[in-house]
Structure 1
Amino acid sequence: MKKRPEGRALGVRALVLLLPVFALATPAFADTGDTAWILTATALVLFMTLPGLALFYGGLVQAKNLLSVLAQCLAIACLMSILWVVAGYSIAFGDGNGAVEGGGALWGGLGKAFLAGIAPDAAVGTIPESVFVMFQMAFAIITPALIVGAYAERVNFAAVLAFSGFWMLLVYAPVAHWVWGGGWLAAMGVTDFAGGLVVHATAGVSSLVFVLMMGKRAVFPAELRPPHNPAFVMLGASMLWVGWFGFNAGSALGANASAGQAMLVTHLSAATAALVWMAIEWTKFGKPTLVGIATGTIAGLATITPAAGSVGPAGALAIGALASVVCYGAVVYIRSRLKIDDSLDVFAVHGVGGILGTLSVPVFAGFGPMAPGLGSMTFGEKAVAQLTGVVSVCVYSALVSAGILLAVRQIMRLRVSPEDEANGLDTATHGESAAGHS
């Protein structure tokens, strides 16, 4: 008889002895397949900010401001990670006790600050709560990072950090609780599958408030130059597209049919929006630009986000087409008519897209094959709920953002000096240059 190697026998015995430890470390109700998918989705959502959004925005600004945008995205990612654990997660997903009559809680309270009371084997649905914390942290990272595109090329870096920190705790986290944490909008039946309200509407409206309070760039609009690196824009948009599968399909919180359908409709909306935006530019200017195609892609992704769990493929095609038509119109109107200097069109693309997608849910929920429908709600009930969600989130975001900016402005400047703006934030703020030194 062949003798089993002693090392292998020891390895088997060690594995048997460790099995109870592994069992204790795994939540009783956790599903390994769901957990593996949400771990992957979490990495994809973080990939959207670092490096996706950073490159997308970095390519759109002037070369002398490239590093400043990258630094803002990176610093925001680090700061939000810490603040999410300190208090953000508790505000968004804690139990809270601020109930209002006829609705749910207004916020989650601070009972889970520093993740207090969360046992190592705690579960949320079929995944460990630690995984859920990390997945939601990635959303809390990208949302304030979206606002970077509004104040790019003229903002004071210290103001970015101060505003972003308070904004995540006072705007993002409470709204996340209203919609996803069992709050009053959830009780009303508002649908926001992956962040049309919680992410895009909050960031878009707050961007508009920020730039109105800070003022225009010195070169706006007469001396604006085209993006310095369209290749970066395309690469960043492509990373965002791939990462968005974690954003939307991951919001099903499991490896299931809902995740599969969310991924399908997300892709279709992005592809349709990219082609429609390209067609608009081609017809209007005679040339289809790479930046335009990339921007259309982002518009389609932002707009399908709240509806990704509520529409079928036909609805996704319609939403993608609408996204480009409406968001393109918003870009032109805000820049040319209103003369508002939202540097990289955050409100026109993300804000308008998120709002449009949210309001589209009752319209397209039963449109075409594979559409899941509205369930127990009528069209009218759903439309009222979605409109209530849009109005309340937009008004709240605007008011609180203005309050934060007024407070920050008391202790520091919101924007750099005219000289630093002219020289570029890379050297003026960070003492570095993307072009290197000779």
Structure 2
Amino acid sequence: MNSSSTSNFNGFVLPWWLLPSDASPGWNNKADNAWQLSAATLVGLQSVPGLVILYGSMVKRKWAVNSAFMALYAFACVLICWVLWAHRMAFGAKLLPLVGKPNHALAGKFLLAKSTIGYFPMADFVFYQFAFAAITVVLLAGSLLGRMNFYAWMVFVPFWLTLSYTVGAFSIWDEHGFLQGKIIDYAGGFVIHLSSGVAGFTAAYWVGPRISHDRQNFPPNNIIHMLGGAGFLWMGWTGFNGGAPFQVGEIASLAIFNTHLCTATSLLVWLTLDMIVYTKSSVIGAVQGMITGLVCITPGAGLVDSWAAVLMGALSGSIPWYTMMVLHKKSAFFQSVDDTLGVFHTHAVAGLLGGLLSGVFAKPKLLRLMYPELPYYPGLFYSFFDAKLGLGFRQIGFQLLGAGFVVVWNVLVTSLICILISRIVDLRMQEEDLEVGDDAAHGEEAYALWGDGERMRVPLRLHISPTIPSLCRRKFSIPLTRNEEE
């Protein structure tokens, strides 16, 4: 069949490349399929390499490897757990009002069938939701950098994904969830950002603080790379919010536009406040303002008009700035917990703010386009002009209910997970290892540069005593320098 051939299909004359085939059934919309795969990839790039680079460069030099590796490990671990049991717990047959039945998502028949949401294969939906789950865990890690025992982190990731993330996703997003159809959470302001911010802060309490010197002096080791990681995060949000409608349509376009508009506004507001109060234009502050803008717009990106996105950006650049730069420094409560990168402020505060503002500015017409079968109430702003103020307040009540549920569940479950893991392995690295950092944790350093004639030390990891002696019986005798080896 040549490229100029056409065929009659249900009364319509279509070019051959649009006709159904064994590889592309009639239900498969090729445009939606292509965009969903692209959006999922963009979300994945936010974590790897985005947050890997951001974390690895935003911390003190001695913690660069450990911080980046915590993100990389979480990404890989979440994928395996997601397809083995977690996806069905978040989007599957109901087990409890809070969670679905654990089951694998590996069967070809399941993955190649039509997605329950959208006109593309189920494999697209599984991968897209994995990328969401992975970035949630990686964001949580930002509260724990610079002291958490990596072996404890290895155990924490699957536990938290299973007991916390799947519950939030099922309760708010799945058709059987008890909050579905009530809470406006377009792309994860509550499910992803509020949960990661609260869980990170809670876990930071149980892990304990960094050593005093690190907590007082923790400069980024590479600001240029930090900006590169931030860029991946920002541009990747195109897929984060643009993929949430699961189709190429008006809502996706509006969501992408609003995302970048809100983010730019938030960055500029944060930067302006830094310049007014501290007389310096902080690069780190600009990145924090960028993040709060991305987070704030997420729960309402495709559901609010662009003027509302600008207003949300102004608030996300100012309210989290106040909680982080003013309230945090004055509050004994915040000072008692060492949240390394301020994830509570950039994600919990901004996520809560975005969720509440979505309940205020959600436009009825956009709600109907996005959720034609769900009975969402209009945003409070529009309910006032439509003389339906009671409905608007009811939606705000649901937003507060959802936020309260996510906060309480994450505090309780994260605490239980940390207590359980502490009975198995230390949550925090040993004091002497905290002084060393990457070399003690992994036997590797971020900037191992050696000049001509300089004696190069063999990586410390070759001398680390086996953690599980029964699996590592052999002992090695390795020279300390090249000269000795020669």
Q: Please, what TM-score do these two structures have when normalized by structure 1?
A: 0.89
One-letter amino acid matched to 1:163 = F
Do the aligned partners of 2:98 and 2:178 also contact (CA within 8 Å) in 1?
no
| Number of residue pairs aligned between Structure 1 and Structure 2 | 415
1:123 partner SS: coil
Q: Does 1:435 find its partner at 2:429?
A: no
Residue 320 (1) aligns with residue 313 (2) = yes
Counterpart selection for 1:341 from 338, 351, 371: 338
Corresponding residue for 1:101? Answer: none
Give me the whole-angstrom Cα distance separating, in 2, the residues matched to 1:189 and 1:177. 13
Q: Which runs of 4+ in 1 moved over 4 A?
A: 111-117, 370-377
- Determine whether 1:363 maps to 2:360: yes
CA distance in 2, matches of 1:355, 1:73: 24
- Could you give the per-residue CA deviations for residues 152-208 of structure 1, whole angstroms, max 9, x where no partner exists? 011100111111111011100111011111244444511111111111011110011
Larger RCO (alpha carbons 8 Å, 6+ apart)? 1
Q: Which deviates further from its counterpart, 410-419 or 183-192?
A: 183-192
Q: Does 1:423 align with 2:416?
A: no
Offset at 1:126?
A: 1.1
Contiguous gaps of at least 5 residues in structure 2: 6-16, 369-374, 379-390, 451-486
Are 2:42 and 1:44 aligned? Answer: yes
Aligned residue runs from structure 1 range 182-261, under 5 A: 182-219=175-212, 223-261=216-254
Query: Is contact 1:302-1:353 (8 Å) kept?
Result: yes
- Asked if 2 retains the 8 angstrom alpha-carbon contact of 1:94 and 1:112, the reply is no
Residues 85 and 103, structure 2, Cα contact 8 Å, conserved in 1: no
For residues 360 and 113 of structure 2, the distance between their equivalents in structure 1, rounded to whole angstroms, comes to: 41
Q: Indicate if the aligned counterparts of 1:27 and 1:123 stay in contact, CA closer than 8 A.
A: no
Change (3 A) 1:359 1:256: same
Q: CA deviation at 1:436?
A: 1.2
Deviation of 1:85 (Å): 0.2
Deviation at 1:219, TM superposition (A): 2.2
Q: Is 2:99–2:177's contact at 8 Å kept on the other side of the alignment?
A: no
Q: Percent identity, aligned pairs only?
A: 32
In the alignment, the residues of structure 2 paired with residue 238 and residue 336 of structure 1 have an alpha-carbon distance, to the nearest angstrom, of 32
SS in 2 for 1:263: helix
1:4 alignment counterpart: none
Which residue number corresponds to residue 81 of structure 1?
79
Q: Give 1:241 deviation, angstroms.
A: 0.5
Q: Distance in 1 between matches of 2:168 and 2:106?
A: 20
CA contact (8 A) 1:112 1:118 kept: no
Q: In the alignment, is residue 384 of structure 1 matched against residue 381 of structure 2?
A: no
Structure 1 segment 7-406 matched on structure 2, within 5 A: 23-98=21-96, 105-112=97-104, 114=106, 118=110, 120-124=112-116, 125-219=118-212, 223-332=216-325, 333-337=327-331, 338-339=334-335, 340-366=337-363, 376-377=377-378, 378-406=391-419
Contact 2:184 2:376 in 1 (8 A): no
Amino acid at match of 1:60: M
Which is worse superposed, 124-133 or 77-86?
Answer: 124-133
Following superposition, the deviation at residue 375 of structure 1 comes to: 5.8
Gaps of 5+ in 1: 1-7, 13-18, 99-104
| RMSD between superposed Cα atoms in Å | 2.5
Note the C-alpha offset of 1:110.
2.3
* 1:394 to 1:44, Cα distance in 2 relative to 1, 3 A: same
Structure-1 separation of matches of 2:65 and 2:53: 10
Distance 1:75 1:184 in 2: 30
Change over 3 Å in CA distance of 1:219–1:97 after alignment to 2:
closer
* SS state at 2:413 partner: helix
1:433 alignment partner, SS class: coil
Counterpart CA distance in 2 for 1:242 and 1:92 is 27
State the shift of 1:252 in Å.
1.2
After superposition, what is the alpha-carbon deviation per residue over 1:203-234, rounded to whole angstroms, capped at 9, x for unaligned?
11001111111111112687323322221221
- Aligned with 1:159: secondary structure? helix
- Assess if the C-alpha contact under 8 Å between 1:48 and 1:239 holds in 2: yes
* Change in 2 beyond 3 A, CA 1:237/1:193: same
**CA apart distance, 1:371:** 6.8
SS of the aligned residue for 1:56 comes to: helix
Q: Per-residue deviation at 1:123?
A: 2.5
**How far did residue 69 of structure 1 move?**
1.1
Tell me the alpha carbon deviations over residues 353-396 of structure 1, each in whole angstroms, 9 at most, x when there is no partner. Answer: 111101111222249xx976996542112101111100001100
State the SS of the aligned residue for 1:91.
Answer: helix
User: Normalised by the size of structure 2, how large is the TM-score?
Assistant: 0.81
